[in-house]
Chains A and B, each alone.
Chain A
Amino acid sequence: MIYFDNSATTKPYKEVVELIARLMSEEFGNSSSLHALGLRAERILEDTRDKLASTIKAKPEELVFTSGGTESVNMAIRGTAEVLKRSGNHILSSPVEHAASLESLKELERIGYHVEYLEVDEYGRILIDDLKAKLRKDTILVNIMAVNNELGTVEPVYEAARIIKSNNKATVFHVDAVQAYGKMPINTRDLNADLISFSSHKIHGPKGVGMLYMRKGTRIHPLIMGGGHERKLRSGTVNVPCIAGFGLAALIKTERMKEDQEKSGRIRNILIKELTSSLSDKIRINSPKDGVENILNISFKGIKSETLLHFLEMRDIYVSTGSACSSKKNAISHVLKAVKLPQQWAEGSIRFSFGSFNTENEAVIVADAIKEIINIM
């Protein structure tokens, strides 16, 4: 099996699976229980919080555990809007965000907030001048992802933060770092963001776990009410085994990040080189050269991407598409639309995304398979 769909989800590290399995059977205590078993679970939880904080140079008390990236993003966007509703109702976002952001923003629009979307270039990168132009004194929230999940484009979030904060210190800046974490350094001391969303299963950790970084002093209204876990910000019995698994995955991934990204870069270059040399004018590279190395989006002319996906799946190769193959309209992803990729290219868009377990040799096999398939299709 060749798994080139690591931006959808990843295979957990073996050490992570073993740790979770062990904790589930041995340390099943409720971290809120008063007895010794509860205390042990709480210690594991707080120890993990310390470790995760260290990977982004944050303070442990700035982290809130959630059920994943989507919850973190929902909590950041809707929780901020609720708390700041008296300070203004203007919100800015990029149009190429993940659905977790876009749907949360739609919900805010429905209840009366004014959401504006920034202009982007051909790779989905926000235009800094447009950000400057659209920022207002009553802008309560700016929402921008660090890395685009479909194209791998790195958004200028550091620069954006400086501009946002110089316009109005009180404007909350949320960065969706789900695709960036473990792929590029994230340093909360340099990145002047108030809220940052993370997910575990994109870095070889378990599904169902994520976290929200909240800069000290940032206030949000919780989405989920209950027993007051996570400093009343996220109630619900804490999933200690999976959080510990997340922590371990984060340590492993951070440790090997540089090496992994270099390898991903080589895999990406092999694919580009092999495919351009034989298919030259039949393909188009949609990812920017300076994007993250682990995401490569390519369009194949005259081919419906879902068909290519199934042909690859027959050869035990797994990728994803930028458009659902359908006779119905509007099946093309909002990202490809936002970067104005012509329809004929958008229909044939495939995303390859790499992770810790991939090898250069796999890239050669995949490139050969694609050449073969395109010939028979």
Chain B
Amino acid sequence: MDKIILVRYEEIFLKGLNKHVFENRLIKNIKQKLDDLGSVRITKSQSRIYIESDDADFDFDEAIIRLTKIFGIASISPVVRIKSDYDEIRKTSLDIVGDLIERKSYKTFKVESKRGDKSFPMSSPRICADLGGYILSKFPRLKVDVHNPDFILYVEVRENTYLYSEIIPSVKGLPTGTGGLATLLLSGGIDSPVAGWMIAKRGVEIEAVYFHSYPYTSDRAKDKVIKLSEILSEYCMGIKLHIVPFTEIQTSINEKCPHEYITIIMRRFMMRIAERIARKSGSLALVTGEAIGQVASQTMESMLVTNNAVTLPVYRPLIGMDKNEVIEIAKRIGTFDTSILPYEDCCTVFVAKHPVIKPSLQKTLEYEKPLDSEKLINDALSRTEVIKL
């Protein structure tokens, strides 16, 4: 009897002849994530991945937690593998069921069976009926409920037999590294980490850019963004965070541009700087956490004006979402509690009393003229700090 972890993937099936590229990448990512837990053997068979370890003290619980954060994995089951021998199947089933009844005080169950190996002498329905009856005879207080059981005992007869009851959902999506690189504009708020996560979910590697306006914002705000990047990096197989000093640009805009336009002009500078960083690292798109109408700088007119500052495509995965929907994801992925820490981020210090809601591109270009954009951008880039997380 061996303890192993069964990993299922779904969407990779769709990838036809490229399927092995996705599978191999997924296996590589799993290896990397579990590396420090000890020696692991990862095998692929019939569109599933099996993970086992020879280390007696291998931390399966920790491994499962990490696997729920790897894109491309649909679900995970801790599994017991035995020989395809019916006596052994009966015996092991009793152990598993006994343990479940004790730990979780389950009262109802059913057996589900799949027979991949047609040379096995019993059909699936017969395995279910016979094994179910056997379990009932040994645990008289247990009842069968085929519609809504407390637990299901799965029996998969292949070249070996796999027994399990738990199916733990993972993040789905596509394996990180199969989709290219994108550059995320990351603030300390709730939205941008979620936006980055959603793009990363499609197999895209992420680098993040944060604009730091010290001393207008505290270094605690920077620590908060580093913390958010750390949380994202658990899903993204690592993140490179660029911290761009933004104070000079903000004070120049504040001095030289009409106040109702400072936010939109500031956003354009952020986009330009992010694009420079993106071009240098071979990134194919910018990612922002904008949603239509959420704040003055996120109207359709405003986004038209900010898009005009760059030529790379700008991905806005939250564009049609409500705040509550975003919050729900932020809570699920673990960024919410950090996002709501009350440190000022750079969006909130230099804010006009009445920012323009429908900016005109022509006016924006006009108002930007007094600024030496090239010099400001180059200066900020030359002082940018890079942290690998």
Contacts and interface: CB of A to CB of B under 8 A. Distances in A.
Interface of A: 304, 306-307, 310-311, 313-314, 324-328, 331
B218 A326 contact: no
Contact of A310 (B214, B342, B348, B351): B214
B106 interface: no
A326 B351 CA distance: 12
Contact of A326 (B214, B215, B216, B342): B342
B379 interface: no
B215 A325 contact: no
A313 B218 CA distance: 10
- Range class of the B interface residue count: 10 to 19
B344 A311 contact: no
B349 interface: yes
Nearest to B349: A307
Nearest to B344: A325
Contact of A314 (B215, B217, B344): B215
Interface string B321-347: 000000000000000000000101000
B349 A326 contact: no
15 contacts: A304-B349, A306-B218, A307-B215, A307-B216, A307-B349, A310-B218, A311-B215, A313-B215, A314-B214, A314-B215, A324-B342, A325-B344, A326-B344, A327-B344, A327-B351
A199 to B, nearest CB: 25
B32 to A, nearest CB: 39
Contacts of B218: 306, 310
A306 B216 CA distance: 8
Contacts of B214: 310, 314
In the A-B complex, list the 10 residue pairs whose CB atoms are closest, starting with the nearest. A310-B215, A327-B348, A311-B215, A314-B215, A325-B344, A307-B216, A310-B218, A326-B342, A326-B344, A324-B342
A327 B342 CA distance: 10
Contacts of B344: 306, 325-327
Nearest to A314: B215
Interface string B213-240: 0111110000000000000000000000
Contacts of A324: 342
A306 B342 CA distance: 12
Contacts of B216: 307, 310
A128 to B, nearest CB: 37
Contacts of A310: 214-218
A265 B388 CA distance: 50
Contacts of A313: 215
Contacts of A327: 344, 348, 351
B361 to A, nearest CB: 27
A304 B218 CA distance: 13
Nearest to A304: B349
B73 to A, nearest CB: 38
A332 B235 CA distance: 38
Given A324-B342, A326-B348, A328-B342, 16 more contacts: A306-B218, A307-B215, A307-B216, A310-B214, A310-B215, A310-B217, A311-B215, A313-B215, A314-B214, A314-B215, A325-B344, A325-B349, A326-B344, A327-B344, A327-B351, A331-B342
